[in-house]
């Protein structure tokens, strides 16, 4: 039988989601717990991989196994075995033909950074401190250029194995909230898929536009030419959170939609 889990994790002490030799990953920790619950080795499949240090408020995974434990009770069975930085939020029986990797249609990521005179410990784990004053209106103007179907070749890091660099971005929003005396900025991107480090590069470029280090023309030229050197640096992983994954069929209702950390 196939089960679907909605999971959340703090990526600080994980070497990404995908299993790697001699590394603590989300997959390895989940599969260790699954083997104890089901009594046999179990393979976990993800809706998509996340890098070391990236967090998730609403990642979706599936696994196949046989147990007398009701599907909705598997959450409790797993959470008794899982560490505090990785938990199952919901567990259900999978709809017929469901595959969390192939069935994913939209993903929403949020990148957080803040401006402050010094590092703020209560923000630093999930957001990145940046320098200078940031113009929110300019960032929003630049964000609008990224919406739609584009060739995002300039917005990927080296090492990407994607067969095509064309992606559809459904929305890019930029918001600012005062938190602990700092201005916290949230760049939220929804798309049908993302290239390697794409959201972190988008966040970096919007920040660069906001503080006057780049312009909307740089983004337009980068989309046209695919030249990565036209864009600002890739932002650190810790500011990125996978917030929500959408499928053709409803799985967990509103659970996980835009679930931010703050």
Active site residues: 51
Which helix or strand (DSSP H or E) is residue 222 part of?
A: helix 216-225
Write the DSSP assignment of 133-180 as a string of letters. ---HHHHHHHHHTT-EEEE-GGGS-TT---S--EEEEEEEEEEEEEET
Torsion, Cα 41 44 49 52, to 10 degrees, reads -50
Please tell me the distance from the alpha carbon of residue 130 to that of residue 208, in angstroms, as a whole number. Answer: 10
Q: How far apart are CA 195 and CA 117, in angstroms?
A: 33
Name the β-bridge partners of 242: 56, 109
**Partner residues linked to 59 by β-bridges:** 7
Strands (DSSP E) contained in 25-103 are 44-46, 55-64, 86-93
């Amino acid at each position: 039988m196939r089960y679907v889990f909605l999971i959340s994790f703090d990526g600080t002490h994980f070497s990404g989601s995908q299993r790697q030799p001699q590394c603590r990953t989300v997959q390895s920790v989940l599969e260790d717990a699954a083997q104890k619950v089901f009594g046999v080795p179990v393979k976990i499949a993800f809706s998509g991989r996340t890098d070391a240090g990236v967090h998730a408020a609403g990642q979706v995974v599936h696994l196949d196994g046989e147990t007398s434990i009701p599907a909705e009770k598997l959450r409790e069975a797993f959470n008794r075995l899982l560490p505090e930085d990785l938990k199952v939020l919901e567990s259900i029986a999978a709809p017929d033909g469901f595959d969390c990797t192939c069935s994913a249609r939209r993903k929403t990521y949020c990148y957080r950074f803040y401006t402050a005179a010094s590092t703020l410990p209560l923000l630093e784990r999930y957001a990145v401190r940046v320098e200078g004053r940031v113009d929110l209106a300019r960032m929003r103007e630049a964000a609008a250029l990224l919406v739609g179907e584009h060739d995002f070749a300039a917005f990927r890091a080296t090492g990407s194995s994607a067969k095509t660099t064309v992606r559809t971005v459904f929305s890019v929003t930029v918001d600012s909230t005062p938190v602990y005396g700092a201005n916290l900025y949230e760049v939220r991107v929804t798309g049908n898929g993302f290239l390697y480090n794409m959201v972190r590069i988008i966040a970096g470029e919007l920040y660069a536009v906001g503080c006057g280090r780049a312009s909307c023309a740089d983004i337009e030229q980068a989309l046209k030419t695919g030249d990565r050197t036209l864009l600002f640096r890739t932002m650190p992983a810790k500011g990125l959170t996978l917030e929500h994954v959408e499928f053709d069929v409803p799985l967990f209702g509103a659970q996980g939609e835009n679930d931010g950390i703050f």
